[in-house]
Structure 1
Amino acid sequence: MSAPTEFFLQLQKGIVGGFAPPTIDAVYSLTRSGDSPNHLVVNAAVRPPGTPHVEQSAAPKNLDATNAHTTSLVDELYSILKELPLEVPTGSEDIYGLDTSIRFGSASLEWANGGPQSCGGGESKVKATPEQKEKFKRAVAIVHELVDKES
């Protein structure tokens, strides 16, 4: 199952709040557009220790979207997300337990998990199985591998 040629993905570490909003530790985005179908644009913003906000950690980089390794990672990520459930209601609970969200958008798939942003998130009617939690961990690892990949 091949990933779409145009998509946007955002991974955010730090999604679960309590009495205060969540502390965001990192935001990574991957974009492949019809304007540049041979490029996967990668942006990374992290919160340096002791600071209140995430900061762009480097200039955006372009990965070769036609590279076999990059393509296989993106295809694997897409196939994982197509299989994973979302919490119900949206934003009620971090069902994967990683304090991490992934948002993926394309013409063929809209997928976004979340967690309670502050008090009163409630409990999700949908729970992730241990196998689904492992698949989500793999999806997160793939994003990190793409972000860390040399351009």
Structure 2
Amino acid sequence: MSPEPFELRIQHGIAGGFAPPRVSAVHDLSLKTSGTSHILLLSQFPLDKEVQQNKLNSKNIPISDDTTKLIQELEGILRKLPTETVPSADIYNRNIGIFWQGADGFTWANSAPQGCGGFEGGAVVTEDDKKAFNRAVEITEILVTRGIAQESA
């Protein structure tokens, strides 16, 4: 069982303000075609000069039933979470941005590509929303870890 095609970006370091955010890691995951056996992962670490000097290779995350369930859970969470019409504040207070685009046109983002200002956003976020967002971050960390583990396997 393969998930529907999607594109996902996880960015660590979205909060800025007077100065732009300090992005420490960006992970892009994509599945372009249904029935594919791997999810493509590309990671960048802008603050780590040693890593940036080395060529960053893409990695493949094998699609298993467990991986498919995690991706479906992540999309389900994001479909329920509030976001700002124009994401401009770190409303979940995690300094982590998630950008999702699904095959059906559903998109979700909690940060603008250039980051967020250091002020309160206009969206109302409950404690349950924050817990759900934390689970979404946990899922993204599991997926990225699986991709990194493939590199050393």
Tell me the C-alpha RMSD between the 2 structures. Answer: 2.8
What is aligned with 1:5?
4
* d(CA) in 2 for partners of 1:87, 1:81: 13
Aligned residue runs from structure 1 range 24-39, under 5 A: 24-34=23-33, 37-39=36-38
Q: Which runs of 5+ in 2 are unaligned?
A: none
CA 1:64–1:118 in 2, change beyond 3 Å: closer, same or farther? Answer: closer
Contact persistence 1:8–1:104 (CA under 8 A): yes
What amino acid maps onto 2:62 in structure 1?
Answer: D
Q: Which runs of 5+ in 1 are unaligned?
A: none
| 1:62 paired residue among 60, 79, 96 | 60
What is aligned with 2:111?
114
What is aligned with 1:78?
75
What is the CA-CA distance between 1:47 and the residue it aligns to? 3.8
Give % identity. 34
TM-score, normalising length from structure 1? 0.82
- Asked if residue 102 in structure 1 is aligned to residue 98 in structure 2, the reply is yes
SS in 2 for 1:81: helix
| 1:129 paired residue among 126, 129, 133 | 126
Contact persistence 1:3–1:78 (CA under 8 A): no
What is aligned with 1:17?
16
* d(CA) in 2 for partners of 1:6, 1:133: 26
TM-score, normalising length from structure 2? 0.81
* d(CA) in 2 for partners of 1:129, 1:64: 35
